[in-house]
Amino acid sequence: MTLRELIVMGLMLTGAFFMFLAGIGILRMPDLFLRMSATTKVATLGVGTILLAVTLYFNDLVTTFHAVATILFIFISAPVGAHMIGRAAYFTGVPLWKGTLVNDLSGHYDPQTHQLESVSIPGLEAHMPDLRVCKVRISETSPAAGKTLAQIELRKTYGFTVLAVNRGSLVISNPDGDVRLFADDDLILIGPPELRDDLAALFGSTGEDVGEG
């Protein structure tokens, strides 16, 4: 057994083992979206490894080109197919695993048009025409970072009211004065749009519109 044969057999063994793991993954994972990670990542790696063994074994240009083209095609098509089937599954209501903690898309998809939208409060404008909802991000250098809502006196100084604080996937709705702000938090504010530019002094960035509110 030459060294090349040894490497070829080793690569094929690795690839076959990954295929086996993909089979175990699709059988044992608790929901569709986790099973998809087994079919796309592990199986793609497995078939890629086996095709790599082929290029070493035949060791000629045409076969190598064939194998590399196949690897490229699988690496491009597997994520596209997985995205499409995952999207279709999400719309048809395939349930998530009961241990799933965060579902970022929940409530953001229009069930009729399948378009992604931000949450809006319909008809809010009619009741208070001089106020708009906006979103502002607290920059690293902002003097508000590290202070509580009571300390920055947003309502008294700037005329804005905080509706919610978004911190990563955490949402603090109707925050009270004791909530402390950190850099990279997103504040959902309601206030007069003409005073929005003043916010830059406090947060380091100006507000942007949210939905139609």
Chain contacts with other proteins (rule: CB under 8 A) = 1, 5, 8-9, 12-13, 15-17, 19-24, 26-27, 32, 35-36, 38-39, 43-44, 46-47, 50-51, 53-54, 57-58, 60, 62-63, 66-67, 69-70, 73-74, 77-78, 80-82, 84-89, 91-92, 94, 114
Bridge partner residues of 187 (DSSP): 136, 165
Are residues 67 and 51 in contact, defined by beta-carbon separation less than 8 angstroms?
A: yes
Distance CA 119, CA 104 (A): 12
Please identify, using beta-carbon distances, which residue of 16 and 121 lies nearer to other proteins: 16
CB-wise, 79 or 193, nearer to other proteins? 79
Q: Which is nearer to other proteins, 22 or 188 (CB)?
A: 22
Beta strands in the chain (DSSP E): 132-137, 161-167, 170-173, 186-191, 208-209
Least distance between other proteins and beta carbon 105 (Å): 15
* Residue corresponding to tokens 């504010």: 189
CB of 123 to other proteins, least distance (A): 29
Residue closer to other proteins by CB (options 112, 174) is 112
Closest contact distance (angstroms) between CB of 118 and other proteins is 22
What is the distance between the alpha carbons of residues 188 and 179, in angstroms, rounded to a whole number? Answer: 14
Q: CB under 8 Å, gap of 24 or more: what pairs does 61-68 form?
A: none
